[in-house]
Structure 1
Amino acid sequence: MTSAEIIEPLGHHELLLVIVQFTALLFVARTLGEAFRSIGQPAVVGELLAGVMLGPSVLGLVAPSVYEWLFLVSEAQFHLLEVISWLGLIMLLIVTGLETDIDLIINKGRTAVVLSLGGIVVPFATGFALGWVLPAAFIAAPGQRLVFSLFLATAMSISAIPVIAKVLIELDVVRRDIGQLILAAGMVDDTIGWILLATVAGLARTGVFNVGSAVATILSVVAFLGVAFTIGRRFTVDLVRWVDNAFGSDAALLSTLMLLALAAGAITQYMGLEAILGAFVVGVLVGQVKRFDYELRHMFEVVTLSIFAPVFFAIAGLRMDIVALADPTVFGVGVVVFGVACFGKFAGIMGVTPFAGLSRWEGITIGGGMNARGAMEIIVATIGLGAGILTIEMYSIIVAIAIVTSLMAPAIMRWSIPKIEVSADERDRIEREAYRQESFVENLTRVLLPTRGGADTRYAARLLGPLLRDREIELDVLCVSEATEGSGGRISEVATRIRRGLAAWLRPTVRESNTAVAPDSAERIFDAVERQLGEDVREPRRIARERAESVAETILEESSLGYDLLVLGETGAGRTPDEPLFSETVNRVVQEAPCPAMIVSTQSAAVPPADSLERILLPTVGTVSSRYAAELAFAIAASENALVDILHVVERPRFDERFAGEPDLSRQAGIGEQIVEREAALGRRLGASVLTTVTSASSPEAEIVDRAARTDADVIVMGSDVRLLSQRAFLGHRVEHVVRDASCPVAVLSA
C-alpha cells in the first residue's frame, strides 16, 4: 500500500471542533431538558429548544462570531456531528421498538385497530390534501408534489409513544384500560407510520414517482418485515439466548442488541429504505425476548435518552429557523398545517370512538394523547429534510408542530382522564398485573440444576417439570466431573488459582461430601434427569464442567452467570441432630449463591412415578420466603391438578412454660387465618385447588411431619431464610426437623 492510499487521520482542529460541538449541544440540551421536566413538560421540548438557542435564531444574533466558529463549518465537518446524530436516532428507534408491546396490541384487538385506523386514515387523508394545495415554495422539489403530499400525510399520521407513555406514567394510569388503549393504538399507528415513512423516503430517493418504483418499494418493505418476523424472530431469540448462556453479562446483551440494530439498519438502507426501519424492527423483536429484561431495557434507555437522543434533538433544533417562521406567509402556512394536524387526529379518533364502544371522555383522552407528535415528528422531519422532500421553512413548521402538540397533550389528558371511571374488571386486571410484576415465579427466566444423577436431583427435576411447562423458563442442567488426564495438570491448576485471585489461592481445599462424577457418566446422568421433566417441557441445556478447586466453586461460578433460581438435591434423612443437615458443598453453595436456592431432599432412592403428584403440603408463616415457596407450590399444583394443603401452626407454650390454665391463642390464630387466607387467595388466582388449616401444637415441626403422614402428602414445599451457624447454612430448627423426619420429599426455598 502506497502512502497515497493510506487514509489520513482526522485533523487536530476537526476533532477539537466536533468535541466542542458535542459538548455544547449535550450540555444545553440536558440543562433545558431537565428544566422542562421539572415543570411537568416533556424533556424533548427543552432539548429541541437547545438547538434553537445554539442556532442562528439566538446564538447567531447574540454572539455571531461564536456561532460562526462553532456551527458555520464545512459540510464534511458538520457531517461528523451528523454521524453522532444518526447514532442517537437509531438508538431512539430501538428504544421505541423495545416499548412496542405486541401482546398488548393483540390483547386489545379490535378496539386498538379501530382507534389506530381512525388515528391514521383521517390525518393521512387531510395531510395528503394539504400537501396537494400548499404553495410550491414549500416543496423542495416542486416536480415531486405527489411524493411531498405522501410525506406530509405520513407526518400528520404519526404519534409520539414516548411522550404519551411519559404522561400516562406521571398520571399513574399507564396500566388502566384507557392507558393501555392509547398505547396499543399508538403502537399500531406508529408501526404503520414507520412503514409508510420508509416507503415514501424510498420513493423520494428514486427522484420520480411511478407505479413501478412504488410497487418495488412496498414489496421491499413487505419482504423485509416478512423475513424479520419469521426467520429473524427465531434467529433473534436464539442469538439472545445463546449470548446470555455463553457470557451471562449485561454488556454482552446490550452489544448484541446494538449490533443487530446496526446490521438490520444497514440492510434496510441498502434496500433503499430507511435505517430506522431496521432499528425499529430489531427493537420490537428483542423486546419480545424474556431474557432481555426490564433492567437491561432501562439501562439502554438511560444511555440513549441521556446522551445520544438529546444531541439528535438539539441538532434538529439547530436546523430550525425561527426567523423564517416570523415571515407572515410561513407563519400563516404553519398555522394552517398545525390546524390540519390537530383536526385530523381528533376528528379521526372521535369519529371511530362510538364504533370502538368508548365514551366521549375516553375519545377526548385518546385523541389528546395521540395528537402528541414529539420525538417521532422530529425524526420524520429530519428524514424529509435529508431526503430532499422538505424545505427549511417546511422543516421548521413541522418541528414547531411537534413542540406545540407535545405541550398540549399533558394538559388535555390531565383534564380528561379523571372523568373516566375505573370498572371492577379493570381493577382486577390491574391487581393481576401488579402481582406479575412482583411475582417470583413469573419473573423466572433461567434455572440451574446441578446434578450427580441421584434421587434428590431427579425428584427436583420432577418438581421443575410442571413449573417449566408452558413458561418461557430456560433450564440448565449442570454435571461436574473430575478433571481428565491431560487437561492441564498442575500448570492448569496453578493458572486457575492465579486467575481467581489471592483469596482463592489461600483458601484451603475442603472435603467435599458431594464429589464430582466420572467424566464418562455425564450423558447417562443427563438422560436420567431429563426423563423426570416430562414430555411437554423444552429440552434443557446440558452443561458439563470439569471440577475446578471444588464442586461448590464450580457450581458457584456457573450460578453467577445470570440465573434466577438454583435447585440443589440433597438427602437430609437419616442424619442425627448433631450432624450437619447438608454436605459441605450444599452448605457453601446455599450461603454464597447469588440467587434464591431451593434444596430438594428425598427420603429414599425411589423417585415417584410421573402421575403420583396429587397433594402438596405448604407450611407457611407469612414471610417472603414462604410467599415465594407458595408461588412455586401453586404453579406446580395448577399444572398437575394437585391439591395444595396450606398449613399454619401456632406454637403452644410447653407445659413447663405455662403459668396457669390454658393460654389464650386466639390472637395468634387470627393472624394465622389471615396468613393462610392470603396465600389461598393467591393460589385460587393462579388456578390451584387449595385447602387451608390453622392449628396449634407445642412442636410445629412435629405437627407438619405428622400432617404430611396423615394426609399422604406427596411433597412438602416450604420457605426459610438462611442463617449462618458454625460456618454452615442453617435453615432453622423447624425446617431441619421436617427435612430429617418427613416421610415424603421436602423442597425448601431460601429467598
Structure 2
Amino acid sequence: MALLELIALFAVARVLGEACERVHVPALIGEIAAGVALGPLLLNWITPTDSVKLVADLGVFFIVYAAGMEMTFRGVRRIVKESGAAVAAGSFSLPFLLGFLVALAFGYDAQVSLFLGLALSLTALPVSVRILTDMGWVHTDVGQTIITAGLLCDIAGLTVLAVITNWGALTGGDVGLTGRVVLQIVLFFLIVFTVEHVLAAREGFLAKRLVAGSQRLLSRGAAFSVPLLLVFAFSLLAQGLGLHFVVGTFFGSVIIAEHVFPPHEGERLRTSIGAISDGFLAPIFFAYLGLVAVQFDPSLAALFAVLLLAAVAGKVAGSYVGARLGGFQSWSASLIAVGMNGRGAMELVIALVGLELGIIGGSVFSLLVIMGLITTFMTPFALRRLAKIPRPRSETGPEPGP
C-alpha cells in the first residue's frame, strides 16, 4: 500500500509539475499542489507516512547534493567574505526579532516566542535551490549568495533551536549547554576544512588517488557510489554533531566537486545526480510539503496575518540591507532579498520538532505550515516578476541570470 501511495504521489506531482512548466511556472508549484490535493487537506487519499517522509528526506539530500556539486570552496569563501555573511545576518536577525516581538504581543511566553521568531527567520535551502535551478541562476553571484546565505541562516537557526529545545535546562542554570552546542558546530567545520586542506595538499595528490581507486573498482556504478558514500558520511557527521544533515550534505558535495571529481571528470556524475533529483526525488519532496498541510484554525487569523507580514517584510528588508552592505547594487540586492523569502523545508522540520517536543500546539503548527507554503508559492512568482524589470543603466556588473 505504501508503494502504491508513493507511485501515485510521484505520478501526480510530475503531471502537475509538467503542467506548470508549460505555462512558465516553476514545477515545484505544481508538485506542492499535488500533495495538497492528495493529502489530508483535500482528498485525503495519501497521508504523510514515515515511508513517504523517508523518500522526501532523500529528495532534500539530492537537491542539496546537486547544488553543492555546482560550487567550489573558493567560490563559497569568496561569497561569504564579500556578501554572504552580511546577507545571512540581515536575513536571519530582522525576521527573528519581529517574530519574537509579535508572539510576545499576542501573549505567548518567551520560549514559544523565540520559537516563532526562529521559524520566521529560516530560508528553505532546498526550495531556494530548486527555484534558482529552474531559473538557471545557480552559477551566478546572486544565486550562490542566496544559497550560501540560506545555509548560514540554517546553521544559525539550528544553533538557536538547540537552545530553545533545552530552554528549561538553560533557565535552570545549565549554561554549559550553549557552549557545548557551539563547540559541536566548531568541531564540524574544523573537520570539514581539515578534510578540504588534506585533499588539496600536494596539488591534490590524495584526491587523485581516490579518483583513480574508484575507477579501478569493477562493480558497475562505482564512480557514482563512492562520492555518494562520502557525501553521506558528511551528512551523518553533521547529524551526529547536532546539525541538520543538509549542512553536511552541502559541504560534502562541495568537497567532492572541487577535489574528488573536478569539472572535466565529474560531468557524468552531475548528470546522474540531477536525473535522480529532478526526475524522481525532488518532486516527491515538494509533494510532501503539500501533504503535511493541515486545516487552518480561524481563531488564529489575526496572529497569522501579522506573523506572515513580519515574515515577508522582515526577510526581504533584512536580506536587502545585508546585500547592500555586502556590496550588491540595488537591483541585484532586490533579487537576493526576494530569493531569500522562500521557506518550507527547514521551517517544516523546525515546526515538527516544536510540535513533537510540546513547545507549540497543533494550531500553531498548522499556522507555521500554511505560512511556509504561502511563502514558498510567493517566492518564484515574485522573483520571476522582479527579474523582468529592466536593470538600471547606472548599475554595472554581471547579470544574475543566464
User: Under TM normalisation by the shorter chain, which class is it?
Assistant: 0.7 to 0.9
2:151–2:247 contact (8 Å) kept in structure 1: no
Which of 156, 160, 174 aligns to 1:196? It is: 156
- What does 1:301-320 align with in structure 2 at a 5 Å threshold? 301-320=274-293
1:246 positional shift: 2.4
Residue identity in the other structure for 1:92? I
Measured on the aligned residues, the alpha-carbon RMSD in Å equals 3.6
Alpha-carbon shift at residue 341 of structure 1 (Å): 0.8
Distance 1:202 1:358 in 2: 33
The match for 1:89 among 48, 56, 60 is 60
- Confirm or deny that 1:282 pairs with 2:259: no
Alpha-carbon distance between aligned partners in 1 of 2:362 and 2:343, rounded to the nearest angstrom: 19
Q: Which amino acid aligns with 2:27?
A: A
Q: State the secondary structure of the residue aligned to 2:261.
A: coil
CA distance in 2, matches of 1:273, 1:231: 18
- The equivalent residue for 1:22 is 6
Q: Distance in 2 between matches of 1:302 and 1:149?
A: 41
In 2, the alpha carbon distance for the partners of 1:196 and 1:420 equals 33
* 8 Å contact kept, 2:59–2:281: yes
Alignment check: 8 A CA contact 2:64 2:249 kept: yes
Gaps of 5+ in 1: 1-16, 61-66, 73-77, 137-141, 435-751
Instruction: Give the aligned partner of residue 34 of structure 2.
Output: 50
Q: Which residue of 2 aligns with 1:156?
A: 120
**TM-score computed with the length of structure 2 as normaliser:** 0.80
Whether contact under 8 Å (1:100, 1:187) holds in the other structure is no
Return closer, same or farther for 1:167/1:80 CA change in 2, 3 Å cut-off: closer
For 2:69, what is the secondary structure of its paired residue? helix
Deviation at 1:379, TM superposition (A): 4.7
Instruction: Kindly provide the amino acid, as one letter, of the partner of residue 272 in structure 2.
Output: M
Alignment partners' CA distance in 1, 2:52 and 2:131: 31
Find the aligned partners of 1:168 and 1:312 in 2 and give their Cα distance. Answer: 17
Residue in structure 1 matched with residue 270 of structure 2 by the alignment: 297
Q: How much identity, in percent, do the aligned residues show? A: 26
> CA–CA distance in 2 between the matches of 1:280 and 1:413?
24
Maintained 8 Å contact 2:9/2:34: yes
Aligned CA distance change for structure 1 residues 124 and 385 (closer, same or farther; 3 Å) = same
Q: What is the alpha-carbon distance in structure 1 between the residues aligned to residue 372 and residue 43 of structure 2?
A: 22
Corresponding residue SS for 1:59: coil
Q: Structure 1's 405 and 316: CA in aligned 2 closer, same or farther, altered over 3 A?
A: closer
Separation in 1, partners of 2:14, 2:61: 19
Partner of 2:198: 234
User: Quick one: which of 199, 208, 212 aligns to 2:176?
Assistant: 212
Q: Which structure has the highest helix share of the two?
A: 2
> 2:305: which partner in 1?
335
- String of CA shifts for 1:198-244, please: whole Å, max 9, x gaps: 32444466573412222211211111111122136635977763343
| Alpha-carbon distance in 1 for matches of 2:358, 2:390 | 45
AA of the residue aligned to 1:185 = T
Change (3 A) 1:201 1:85: farther
1:267 is paired with a residue of what secondary structure?
helix
Superposition pairs of residues 25-424 of structure 1, within 5 angstroms: 25-60=9-44, 67=45, 71=47, 78-108=49-79, 109-134=81-106, 136=108, 145-146=110-111, 148-160=112-124, 164=128, 179-180=140-141, 182-203=142-163, 206=166, 208-210=168-170, 211-231=175-195, 234=198, 241-248=208-215, 251-289=221-259, 291-292=261-262, 293-321=266-294, 323=295, 325=296, 327-352=297-322, 355-356=325-326, 358-382=328-352, 384-385=354-355, 389-417=359-387, 418-421=389-392
Q: State whether residues 150 and 340 of structure 2, in contact with CA within 8 Å, keep that contact through their aligned partners in structure 1.
A: no
Aligned to 1:450: none
Q: Secondary structure at the match of 2:168?
A: coil
Moved more, 288-297 or 50-59: 288-297
The one-letter code of the counterpart of 1:251 is: G
Q: How does 1:699-738 map to 2 (within 5 A)?
A: none
CA distance in 2, matches of 1:360, 1:232: 35
Structure 2 vs 1, CA of residues 97 and 389 (structure 1 numbering), >3 Å: closer, same or farther?
A: farther
TM-score, scaled relative to structure 1: 0.45
> 1:99 offset after TM fit, Å?
4.3
What are the Cα deviations for residues 479-501 of structure 1, in whole angstroms up to 9, with x where unaligned? xxxxxxxxxxxxxxxxxxxxxxx
CA distance in structure 2 between the aligned counterparts of 1:353 and 1:244, rounded to whole angstroms:
38
Residue 300 of structure 1 deviates from its aligned partner by 0.8
Aligned-pair CA distance for 1:343: 1.0
Matching residue's letter, 2:122: I
Structure number having the greater strand percentage: 1
